[in-house]
Structure 1
Amino acid sequence: MATKKDSNVPAQPGNDKTENLAPHTADASGEFMNTNTGLRINDDQNSLKAGERGATLLEDFMLREKITHFDHERIPERIVHARGSAAHGVFKVYKPMAELTKAGFLNDTSIETPVFVRFSTVAGSRGSTDLARDVRGFAVKFYTQEGNFDLVGNNMPVFFIQDAIKFPDLVHAVKPEPDNEMPQAASAHDTFWDFISLMPESAHMIMWAMSDRALPRSYRMMEGFGVHTFRFVNAEGVSSFVKFHWKPLLGVHAVAWDEAQKISGKDPDFHRRDLWDAIESGNFPEWELGVQIVAEEDEFKFEFDLLDPTKLIPEELVPVQRIGKLTLNRNPDNFFAETEQVAFHLGHLVPGIDFTNDPLLQGRLFSYTDTQLSRLGGPNFQEIPINRPIVPVHNNQRDGHMRQTINKGKSSYGPNTLGGGYPLQAKASEGGFTSYPERVDARKVRARSKSFFDHFSQARLFFNSQSDPEKNHIVDALSFELGKVKAVSIRERMLGILSMIDKNLAAEVSFALRIPVPQDPELPVNHSIPADGDPADYDSLIVESSLTSSAALSMANTPKESIATRKIAFLAADGVDEKSLLAVKNVLESEGAVVEIIAPRRSYIISESDVQIPVDQSFLTAASVLFDAVYVPGGTNSVATIEADADAVHFLNEAFRHCKAVAADASAMQVLEGTYFAKKIPADFSDETVIKEGIVVSDDAEKLARQFVLAIAQHRFWEREKSRKIPA
C-alpha cells in the first residue's frame, strides 16, 4: 500500500469563502454578450425567421438555448423552508475547546471560519409572507479546514414529533389542505389541529409555536437552536452530549399578532429586507454560539430523555456556555445561485462532532440527501459553488448529472495500484473521521422508549415560565387558531389536551371558543401507537417537573440595553422646529438607531428656519408597523399639519396599540390630544420629562431624547393591552 508523500499534500486552502466563490462569479460589466459556449452574439433582440414576417426557423440555436434555459430556470421548491433569506459571515471561537471536542474550528482562535447562514419560514411557499405564525429555520454552514459542518436548526429548541417516520404526516397536516390548497403559510385550519390533537407529543412545541417566538421582530433578534442532542468527541475519544444554541446580541424580540398581519400586507418581505438592509448599512448581525454540555455518565440523571427532540434541557439545570461569535457581514451576490441552491445536511460533520440515537435526527439524515438529489438535479449538488468546501475534494465518486470536476488518471476505485493507491484513507490522527464507538446491544423493534411518554411537563414548564402578557398572547393565539377550525370535535379534543398542560389555559381558551373543557380528555390521548399496541401503554401521564419555571424561556428576560438598528419614525411637515428634530435625531443615531422622516409628501420639508430637510417616506408609503417607535417634533405649522392629517393620527394610534414607545415635543401636545391614548398623559408635564407606559413628552429635547432611548430599549410596553383592553 502506498504511503502519503509530502509532494501530495495539497497547499493550505484559503480560508475565505469569497475567494472560493470568485472563480465561479461572473460580472458582465464592459463585456460582449455570448452564448453558453462562448460564441459572441450579434443580435439578441430578434429570432431567426424565413423573411421579416415569415416563420421562425428551427435552426435558430441561440433562440433554443435561451428559451430552454428560461424554461428550466426554476428548480423544485423546498417542501419545507421554501421561503428563505441568507447571508455570508464568519465565526470565531473564543477559546480552545480541546477538552470537549477535537473539531478544528472550535480550537483554533487565530482563524475566522467562513459561514453561510439561511433563515426561513417552514410551512409557506416561496411566495408567502415573512410574518406568518411559524417556526423559523436557522441553518449555518461552516466552511472549515476539515470540511463543511452544517448546524441545521430552528428558532425553537424542540420539535413537534419524536420520530422521523411521522415527519411526512406533520408536513402534510400543516400544509394547505389538499382539496382546496388553502390556507397558505398558516396552521389555523382543520387538518393541522386534527393531527396535533391526536399527537400529544406535540404539546410542548405547540406552546412555542403559539407564543411570541413564532413572530420574531427580525431574524437578527431571534435565537437559534440545534434542536437535537449531538455528541462532542475529544482527541482521546471521550464523548459528551451537547445542545447547540445561538444567542442574538440584540436580544430576543417579537412583533404583535395584529401587527404581523398588517406587515404581511404592507411589506411581506419585512424580514428579508431587514436582514439585507442591516448588512448593507454595516450593522452586522451577531450571535454567540452557546453549548450545553452533559457528561456521558449523566445521560440518565434528568426527568426527561436527552434523546427526545420534544424536550429541552432547562438552563437552570445545565447552563449555556458561550464559546464563540457569529457575524454576518456580506449579502449574497445572487439569490438563486447562493440562497436557493445552498444545500444543508445534518450529515455534514467534522471530526469531533457526532450523532446520537435521537430517532428524529436519524431519520432526517436520510431525508436531507434524498431531498437534495431531487431538488438540485442529482448527486453532484456538492459541486455547486455555494456548497463547495474550502478544502480540496479527492475521492472515487465520478460522473453523474451536471458533474463539474474533470478528474484525471486511470483509477476511480480503491484499492488500486495504477493510481499509486491514491486517494488514501486518512488515519484518525491525520484528521480522518471516525464514528463514536457507541455500544449497541438490542433487539430490532418498532417502538418508543417509555422515557419518551411524558408529553406535558415541559409544555407546562414553558407556559408557567412566560410573563403575563406572553401568557395572554398564547391564549389569544390558541383561540384564534382553534377558532378557525370547523370541526367541533377537534376543538373539543384540543381543549382536553390543553387541560393536561394547564387548566387555567384550557379554561381561557374554552371561554373564547364558547366550548366547555371536557371533564376528561378523549381516550386514547395518544393515537401514535402500533396497530397491535395497547393504548393504555402509550397514553401520556400527568407528570410534574421538579422545576416549575425557567427564566430563560421568557422573552421578557432578554437584554434590553440597546436600540441599535431600531427604526424610528419622525412625523413632520413644513414648519417643523429644526432644533427639536435634530436634537432627538442626533441622540438616537448616536445610539445606533435608524431615523426616517415621514411627511405628507415625499422629497423634502422646509423647517421654521427655512432649511430643507430630506423626507424618507410619505404617509402614503409608510406605516407604523414597519417602525419600532414614533416621535413628533415641535414647530407650529408642522404640528398643525400633522394634527389635521388622518394618516398621521392613525400612525400614532396604531403604534400605541402595538405597545411601542411614542414621544413628542411638548409643543406637539395638540397632536397627541387627537389620539385615543391622550388620557395616558398627565396634564402637567412642563417641568419634568414624563414616561408612562412608553409615552415620553418634554419641552427639553435633550432630556426627552435620553428618556426616549430608554423607552425604545424596552421594546414594547405590553401592559397597555390589559389595562386599556387593546389587543395587539
Structure 2
Amino acid sequence: MSDENKKLTTSWGAPVGDNQNSITAGSRGPTLIQDVHLLEKLAHFNRERVPERVVHAKGAGAHGYFEVTQDLSNYSKASFLSEIGKRTPLFIRFSTVAGELGSADTVRDPRGFAVKFYTEEGNYDLVGNNTPVFFIRDAIKFPDFIHTQKRHPQTHLKNPNAVWDFWSLSPESLHQVTILMSDRGIPATLRHMHGFGSHTFKWVNAEGEAVWVKYHFKTEQGVKNLDVELAAKLAGENPDYHTEDLFNAIANGDFPAWKLSVQIMPLEDANTYRFDPFDVSKVWSQKDYPLIEVGRMVLNRNPENYFAEVEQATFSPGAFVPGIEASPDKMLQGRLFAYSDAHRYRVGANHNSLPINRPQAEVNNYQRDGQMRSDSNGGSSVYYEPNSFSGPTESAQNKPAAYAVSGEADSVAYDHHDHYTQAGDLYRLLSEDERTRLVEAIVGAIKPVEKDEIKLRQIGHFYKADPEYGTRIAEGLGLTVPQVV
C-alpha cells in the first residue's frame, strides 16, 4: 500500500474517521465518552514518559494563601469565596511545557500556572497557563500537538519541521503562536508574569443560578520579559534561573503576589457572542465583560522537600468544589479526564492521599486499595454503596447545575472558524519595537524548516491576521506572500 493510501487507525487496527474533532453533542458539546478514539489517544499519551510528567516536567512551586477582597457570593456558592478577608491556604506550581525535567527555565515556551486551593469543601485546582488562550481547541489534537514539541524519534532532536507543519495545518493556533513569539514568550521570572485559567468555567450560586467565568491572575510585580540573547545566555549558565529566583525571593521575605479577577458572562450570552465563548483559542473582550476583582494570592513559604511537594503535587482541572463547575469547552472536557489519569499512572491511584495533595476537608468514599495506600484504607467500614450500614451518601444539593445541550452526536468542529481577527488585533496592539522583535523571533524559528510549502502556508495565516504581519515575515524568509492568500 502506498503512503498516500495508508489509513490512520486505532491501536486495535480500526480505521479512524475523524482525527480533528472529538464526538460531541452538537457543535458546542459537551464531549461524549463514547468517543473511544479520543480516550485511547489521551490515555496512551499519558503513558508515554516514565516517570516525569509528559508535559510541564520542569517546574517550581511554593505555598501561600488566597484572600478574598470582594464578595462575589451572588455568583458562586464556593465557600472559599464566601466572605471578604477569608484566607485559604494554597500551593502553586509554575512550569515550562515542552522541556524535560532538566531543561532550561528561560526557553521560549508557555508557562504552566497551576493553583491548588485547600478549601473546607475539598481541594479546588485551577490549572492554567500564563496565556489566556491555547494552540488548539479540541483535546483530540493534544497528543499530536505535544509530539511536535518533543524530540524527533530518529534524531532525538527538536524538530522545527514538525512544529510549523502542525501549526500551519492548525490555523486555530495563530493567536497563541503570536503570544508565544512575542516578548511575553520568555518571562523575566515566574514572579513577573500573569496567570490565566484560560478555559471558560461555570459558577453557580446558592440559588442554583449560573454564569460563565474566566480567571485572570495579574502579577503585582509587573510584567517583565527577557531579551532573547540574555535568555539564551542564562539557559547555558544557569538553566534553573527561574526556580532559583522564586525560591530566593520567598526566602528573603519578598513575597510575590497576584490579584485574581474574573470576567463574568450571563449564560444566554454564549449563544449570541461574536466568538464562541467556549473556544479556548479565543478571548472575551474586556470591553464586553470587564474584569471584576475577587481576591489576592500571596506566596510566602518555600517547599521543604522538592520531590515530596513540587514533583508529587498533582493538579486536575476536574478538581471542583461546590459552586464551580465545567463548561462545554472541548479542550477542558478532555483535560477533565487526561490530568487525573496521568496522575494515576505517574504517581499512583492514591495520589490524592499524599500530604501535598491531601484535602483539609474530611474524605469519605468507597475507594479502596491500590498502590501506595498510606492511610487506614477505610478500616473495617462499609466498602460499597448503597448500603444499610450508615455509610456516606450523596448530597443532592451538590449536583452540578444543569445546562441545555442539543444537536446530533458527531465529530464536529466549533461553529466559528475566525482564527485571524484576534491574532491580528494583538499584532496591531504591539508597538513598532515589539512587532520587530516578534517578526525576528518568528523568522528565526521558521528558517530551519525544510519545506517552503510549510513556510508559505504559515505566512498565509499571518497575512490573513494582518497584511503587514504576513508580509514582514515573508520578507524575512526571502519569500513572497502566496497569491492565493
* Smaller-chain TM-score bracket: 0.7 to 0.9
**Any gaps of 5 or more consecutive residues in structure 1?**
1-73, 522-728
Map 1:261-340 → 2, pairs under 5 A: 261-340=232-311
Which of 458, 461, 465 is 1:494 aligned to?
458
Q: Which residue of 2 aligns with 1:443?
A: 408
Q: Which residue of 2 aligns with 1:125?
A: 100
Q: Which residue of 1 aligns with 2:16?
A: none
Q: Distance in 2 between matches of 1:475 and 1:111?
A: 46
1:375 and 2:351 correspond: no
Deviation of the 1:97 alpha carbon: 1.4
TM-score (norm 2): 0.88
Deviation of the 1:189 alpha carbon: 0.9
Q: Distance in 2 between matches of 1:462 and 1:303?
A: 17
Offset from partner CA, 1:675-717 (integer Å, 9 cap, x none): xxxxxxxxxxxxxxxxxxxxxxxxxxxxxxxxxxxxxxxxxxx
Offset from partner CA, 1:290-312 (integer Å, 9 cap, x none): 10011112223321110111000
TM-score (norm 1): 0.59
Deviation of the 1:427 alpha carbon: 4.2
Offset from partner CA, 1:434-489 (integer Å, 9 cap, x none): 111112333211101322x1111111111111122211111011111011212222
Q: Supply the AA of the counterpart residue of 1:366.
A: F
CA contact (8 A) 2:278 2:329 kept: yes
Q: Which residue of 2 aligns with 1:103?
A: 78
Q: Distance in 2 between matches of 1:475 and 1:374?
A: 41
Residue 326 of structure 1 aligns to a residue whose secondary structure is strand
Map 1:8-27 → 2, pairs under 5 A: none
Q: Distance in 2 between matches of 1:396 and 1:305?
A: 39
Offset from partner CA, 1:661-682 (integer Å, 9 cap, x none): xxxxxxxxxxxxxxxxxxxxxx
CA contact (8 A) 1:95 1:107 kept: no
Q: Supply the AA of the counterpart residue of 2:117.
A: F
Residue 240 of structure 1 aligns to a residue whose secondary structure is strand
Q: Distance in 1 between matches of 2:337 and 2:238?
A: 37
Offset from partner CA, 1:277-300 (integer Å, 9 cap, x none): 100000000001110011112223
Q: Distance in 2 between matches of 1:121 and 1:449?
A: 28
Q: RMSD of the TM alignment (CA)?
A: 1.4
Offset from partner CA, 1:44-70 (integer Å, 9 cap, x none): xxxxxxxxxxxxxxxxxxxxxxxxxxx
Which of 394, 413, 419 is 1:425 aligned to?
394
For this pair of structures, how many residues does the alignment match?
436
Map 1:517-596 → 2, pairs under 5 A: 517-521=481-485
Q: Which residue of 2 aligns with 1:412?
A: 383
Q: Distance in 2 between matches of 1:75 and 1:386?
A: 21
Q: Which residue of 2 aligns with 1:471?
A: 435
1:512 and 2:482 correspond: no
Residue 385 of structure 1 aligns to a residue whose secondary structure is coil
Identical columns (%): 43
**Any gaps of 5 or more consecutive residues in structure 2?**
1-48
Q: Distance in 2 between matches of 1:442 and 1:519?
A: 38
Q: Which residue of 2 aligns with 1:83?
A: 58
Offset from partner CA, 1:144-196 (integer Å, 9 cap, x none): 0000000000000001111100000100111122221112xxxx711110111
Rg: which structure is higher?
A: 1
CA contact (8 A) 2:127 2:315 kept: yes
Which of 352, 356, 370 is 1:386 aligned to?
356
Which of 176, 189, 194 is 2:160 aligned to?
189
Residue 263 of structure 1 aligns to a residue whose secondary structure is helix
1:456 and 2:456 correspond: no
Residue 445 of structure 1 aligns to a residue whose secondary structure is strand
Q: Supply the AA of the counterpart residue of 1:519.
A: Q
Q: Supply the AA of the counterpart residue of 2:420.
A: F
Q: Distance in 2 between matches of 1:311 and 1:505?
A: 19
CA contact (8 A) 1:380 1:402 kept: yes
1:398 and 2:363 correspond: no
Q: Distance in 2 between matches of 1:297 and 1:499?
A: 34
Deviation of the 1:95 alpha carbon: 2.6
Which of 323, 327, 343 is 1:356 aligned to?
327
Map 1:37-186 → 2, pairs under 5 A: 76-183=51-158
Q: Distance in 2 between matches of 1:401 and 1:211?
A: 44
Relative contact order, higher structure (CA 8 A, sep 6+): 2
CA contact (8 A) 1:84 1:120 kept: yes
Q: Distance in 2 between matches of 1:315 and 1:212?
A: 22
Q: Distance in 2 between matches of 1:398 and 1:132?
A: 42
